[in-house]
Amino acid sequence: MSSVETGPQPLQLQPPPLQTVQTSYAPSDIRLLIGAAPAPTVSLSQKEARIAAGESYGHFLTPEAVPTDLQADTYHSALARSGPAIASALLGLAAQLETQAKGEPITLVSLARAGFPVGIVLHRLLRRRGLDSAHFGVSIVRGVGLDLRALQQVLSERPAAGVVFIDGWTGKGSILDTLRTSLTGHVFQPTFAALYDPAGVADLAGSHDDLLLPHAALNATVSGLLSRSFLVSDNHAAPLHAAHLHAAQYLAHLQAHDVSTGYVDALGALCADAAPLPAPSARPHNPAALALDIAHRYGCTDPHRAKPGIGEATRVFLRRRPAALVIRASTPDTLHLETLARAGGIPIYSEAALPYAAMSLIAASLDTANTDIASTDTASLDTASAGTGDV
C-alpha cells in the first residue's frame, strides 16, 4: 500500500522556455527571468476603480511618461545627499551575505523593480570579493504571488541554500508576506534581504532607517527601462495563476532618459570610499501597526490604502491617487512629497510618533468615498496619468 506524503513538497514545475524581456542593464549585471508580452493599459481612474473592485494591479498597466523635472531633481538630490550612507549600507549588507554564505555560492534573486539596482551593486561587490555570485531578476505581484516558474529556473541552475531574495526597502512587509505565502508547503523557504528595512521584517538588512533611496523617485528609467511586471494571459482569457511566467514591457520611448546603469555605477563608485555599516541590531517593534493606528485617525480604515515608509509614500504619488500625507518631520527626504501635496491641495499632517519618515494615504474610489478617505484629484510626480509601478 502506498503512503500519502503530507510533509513539505519540492517545487514540481518544469523550467519554462523563456523569451525574456529586453533590458538596458548589462547581461553581466543581471539575468532577467521575466517574459515579454503585451499588457492591457488603463487610465489612472480605471486602475483605481478596478483595484477598488478587488482586482489585482498585476492585471494591467498604466502609461509611463517621461520623468518630470521634480522626479529628476528628487533623484539627483537624494543621490548627492544620501549616496555615501547608501553605499555604507550596501557594503554592510554585502558583508552579511558573505558571512552567511560561508564560502558557498550566493544567488541573489532581485524582486521587480526596486530590488534590481540593489541586487546589481551587491552582485558586483560579492564578485569583487572573489565569491561565486549569480544575480537574477524575477517578478512578484503583491497579493498574487512570486513567479514560481522563474524561481524553478533559478533552482535548476543554482543551489537552493544560497538563494537570497533582494528588495530595496520595506513598508508594511506585504511583499515578504506574498513571498512566504507563495512558498507555503514547499521545502524551499526564502531568505529575504532589504537594503532599508524600516518595517523590521527582513532576515538581513543594511539598515532599519527609513531613508529615501534615489530610485524610489523614478520608475522604468532607473530599472533597466522595464515596466512594472504583470501576469500573462492565456489566449486573452483571465490571467493565469502565479505559477506561470510573469511578463513586462521594455519602454523604448524612455531611452533618452535612462539612468539605470549610471545609477548603479554611481553607487558602486561611492562604495569604494565608504565604510560598511555593522549589521543592525534591535529591530523596530511592529512599526506597521502603529502607522496603521495613525492612518485610522485620519479616516483611513483600509490598511491596503495606508502606505508607510518614504519609498512607499513616494510611489503613491507616482502611481496612485493620494488623499493625505503624514510625515514625522519635514526633512530633505520629504520635501518632494510636501511640494506635491501642496500643489494638489492634499492635507499634510505631522505626527512625531510616526515610526516612518512618511506615510501616504490613498484615496478611496468614488464608489466608497462616503465610507473612507474622500477621493481627490491631485498633482503627481508623473503628471501624465500615473507611472507604471509595483503597486
What's the Cα-to-Cα distance from 353 to each of 88, 153, 281, 327, 350, rounded to whole Å? 27, 44, 21, 10, 9
> pLDDT tier at 54 (50, 70, 90 boundaries)?
low
pLDDT at 56: 63
Burial class (CB in 10 A: 0-12, 13-18, 19+), 277: buried
Q: Are strands 322-327 and 246-248 parallel, antiparallel or unpaired?
A: unpaired
**What are 328-362's pLDDT values in tens digits?**
999 999 999 999 999 999 999 999 999 999 999 99
pLDDT at 381: 52
* Cα 151 from Cα 99, distance rounded (Å): 24
* Cα 79 from Cα 68, distance rounded (Å): 17
Bridge partners of 207, per DSSP, are 196
> pLDDT tier at 233 (50, 70, 90 boundaries)?
low
pLDDT at 242: 40
**What are 164-184's pLDDT values in tens digits?**
999 999 999 999 999 999 998
pLDDT at 44: 66
Q: Before 158, cis peptide (omega within 30)?
A: no
Residue 286: closest CA among 266, 308, 302, 305: 308
The one-letter amino acid code at 172 reads: K
Query: pTM higher than 0.85, yes or no?
Result: yes
Grid coordinates standing for 377? 484629484
pLDDT at 76 over 60: yes
Rounded to 5 degrees, φ, ψ at 270 are -65, -30
Percent of the chain predicted with pLDDT > 70? 81
Check: CB of residue 154 under 8 Å from CB of residue 163. Answer: yes
**What are 256-301's pLDDT values in tens digits?**
999 999 999 999 999 999 999 999 988 999 999 999 999 999 999 9
